[in-house]
Chain A
Amino acid sequence: GAVVSQHPSWVICKSGTSVKIECRSLDFQATTMFWYRQFPKQSLMLMATSNEGSKATYEQGVEKDKFLINHASLTLSTLTVTSAHPEDSSFYICSATSGKDHNEQFFGPGTRLTVL
């Protein structure tokens, strides 16, 4: 149990376009979902925390108008990178918790975004 999927696994887009990444909890209801970004050889950087039906809480330095997060249901959260630029190229990972199991975060497989 506790499987989280992400789609797409990788995406290449042109500078200035928008990209949407989906994160789904497949076999549990996720009370909270997290979005991380990871640059090569660096640790995870939390971008935002979202709870179903409410606005996401963004970490300092993360532009909420650029990284739109929608957590419309207990099993789906989406991250949209608007007007992507090459510096947005990164590995984006979502995770989800059910509020049980000592708040363990279950991670999706990640999405590698390359902006040309």
Chain B
Amino acid sequence: GQNIDQPTEMTATEGAIVQINCTYQTSGFNGLFWYQQHAGEAPTFLSYNVLDGLEEKGRFSSFLSRSKGYSYLLLKELQMKDSASYLCAVLDSNYQLIWGAGTKLIIKP
């Protein structure tokens, strides 16, 4: 079966750094996405990785290791507005997105 695992909830402090991990087992791999979703809103795109390594985009970075079936999303200089759920999703061999359950990130002052 296909499976994506990420922690259910994490807590961090404003101004700090947090790393949200995602491990996956899918039938094929055509890329991994990270989305941010605020409560009551639709997901918004954060990043896409298809090759191994780190992709940096402002305060957010995403890392991928295909051999380990592993990715992480790194958020720096945390702000209160970063409180949201972060969804990891993998594009499988049929180009279908397989979604993780999401990680709820709570930012404390």
User: Taking beta carbons and an 8 Å cutoff, which residues of A are in contact with B?
Assistant: 34, 42-44, 46, 49, 91, 93, 102-110, 112
Contacts and interface: CB of A to CB of B under 8 A. Distances in A.
Contacts of A106: 45
Main SS at interface, chain A = mixed
A103 B42 contact: no
Contacts of A112: 40
Contacts of A93: 42-43
Interface string B29-68: 0110100000011111100101000000000000000000
B43 A44 contact: yes
A104 B48 CA distance: 8
Contacts of A43: 87, 99-102
Given A43-B87, A110-B41, A105 B97 contact: yes
A11 B88 CA distance: 29
Q: Which 7 A-B pairs have the closest CB atoms?
A: A107-B42, A43-B101, A110-B42, A43-B102, A93-B42, A44-B99, A109-B42
Contacts of A110: 40-42
B87 A44 contact: yes
Contact of B48 (A46, A49, A102): A102
Contacts of B91: 102-103
16 contacts: A43-B99, A43-B101, A91-B40, A93-B43, A102-B91, A103-B30, A103-B95, A104-B33, A105-B33, A107-B42, A107-B43, A108-B42, A109-B41, A110-B40, A110-B41, A112-B40
